[in-house]
Amino acid sequence: MEHTICELFAGVGGFRVGLEKSSLDWKTVWANQWEPSKKVQHAFECYKSHFETSGGIDKYSNIDIAQVPVEHIPNHTLLVGGFPCQDYSVASTGARGIQGKKGVLWWEIERILEAKRPPFVILENVDRLLKSPSSQRGRDFGIIISCFAKLGYSVEWRVINAAEYGFQQRRRRIFIFAVHNTTKYFKELQNQSPYEELQSYGFFSSTFNVEKFPEDAISSIDIKEKYSLDILEISNNFAFGFKNSGIYRNGVIYTVETTPNNLLVNKPITLEDILEKTVDEKYILSEDDLEKWTYMKGPKAIERTSKDGHKYVFREGGIAFPDPIDKPARTMLTSEGSKNRSTHVVRDIETGKLRLLTPIECERINGFPDNWTNTGMTNSFRYFCMGNALVVNLVEHMGKKLHSIIEKEDK
């Protein structure tokens, strides 16, 4: 079986960088990146500048994915993408059956899966996906699982904090792995109990080890028997307490709260490990700004009045100021580098002065090569791209595992 990739919502290429670091056998046959309401498509131009030498320009799409006919997308072994967390609810549309909200990108993924049926899928999202919407906890993820199930896939998921496995950012994201039930790998999984898959033998549990948990800690629901995998029925009525790890197979969802087993981590990568030794003075905080930064980072209790006249106290905990450099970075947001409470501030190694992180340091926090985004975009957009990106180190490990799985498919 070929090691071919289709990359959706590609950004600046995090999935591709990680997979290609894991093995030279991976070959991306098509990628789509489109940023709505942006005149200049900086992320796409960055992606293209790094990868266009490895294939013709027709391999890179810079239009709204909803406008791409599925026949324009090549067949592939692995579909990857970091898609937005949105409202995945559906509605009845008379003779046309059911339809999801327009512009919700999950339905574009489903459209491609239905047409192409790749053997393997890896998706990434924010961890609140498991609990959304707040009015019907778990509904959105239940819809996603049901869509996969109806297309003949089994699913595994894990919320992973990269720092808990030795990497340089405390970034929690859900990764979803789907395998088509026609693969040899799925048949191998059938020989394992749900407990064995969740504890040791699954795609994630064998790559990112977890501590032992009792079998009775697993909760389950037979979504096929209870809801017949009917997307409209699930949209209207399904609610379930998804934990940070779980699987779906043979009609049943199994989920359990797991704890990372990081005994294999000798020394985590810290901010100090990735800081530049000499930086431009423009990153140093001015004396005039220090008071503002101290206030933004500090704890607050502010009396406010709501629209209906009700008085209440807005409270906010403090953030370490400056950020400790003997630990991994906090989660990096798209506002990184701006005058913002969430922006990292460190004590410069050379001068001892407080400063912002450089774009290169932000690239390192996500595991990208230095100057990856130095392709003509502004510094603020370089920060934005890294706030949107994933931790490449995690994808590299997943790539190694999946490479070994695919190697066995043709044997």
Residue 95 has pLDDT above 60, yes or no: no
Q: What is the mean pLDDT of residues 359-370?
A: 98
Cα three-residue angle 60-22-189, rounded to 5 degrees: 100
Q: Select the more confidently predicted residue: 284 or 57.
A: 284
Q: Are residues 313 and 247 in the same domain?
A: no
- Split at pLDDT 50, 70, 90, the class of 263 is low
374 falls within a domain: no
Global pTM value: 0.94
Q: Give the count of domains, the chain.
A: 2
* Catalytic option among 6, 46, 85, 362: 85
- Is 316 in the same domain as 340? yes
- For the four alpha carbons of 85, 81, 106 and 161, in that order, the dihedral sign comes to negative
The mean per-residue pLDDT over the stretch 112-119 comes to 98
Does the residue 205 lie in any domain? yes
**Confidence bin at 410 (pLDDT 50/70/90):** confident
Claim to verify: residue 278 and residue 153 sit in the same structural domain: no
Do 20 and 159 lie in one domain? The reply is yes
Q: Is residue 377 part of a domain?
A: no
Mean pLDDT of the chain: 93
222 & 278 share domain: no
Domain presence at residue 193: yes
**Which one has a higher pLDDT value, 344 or 314?**
344
Retrieve residue 103's tokens.
């512009």
**Are 144 and 255 a contacting pair, CB within 8 Å?**
no
Report residue 30: phi and psi, to 5°. -165, 145
Mean pLDDT (whole number) for 229-256: 96
- pLDDT of 90 reads 81
Residues 298 and 256 both lie in one domain: no
23 and 154 in a single domain? The answer is: yes
Percent of the chain with pLDDT over 70: 95
Average pLDDT rounded to a whole number, residues 117-121: 98
Q: 229 with 254, same domain? A: yes
What per-residue confidence (pLDDT) applies to 195? Answer: 98
> What range defines the domain where residue 230 resides?
4-265+391-409
The per-residue pLDDT for 103 is 67
Q: Is the pLDDT of residue 320 over 90?
A: yes
Q: What is the CATH number of the domain that holds 140?
A: 3.40.50.150
- Told to judge if 385 belongs to the known catalytic residues of this protein, a careful annotator would answer no
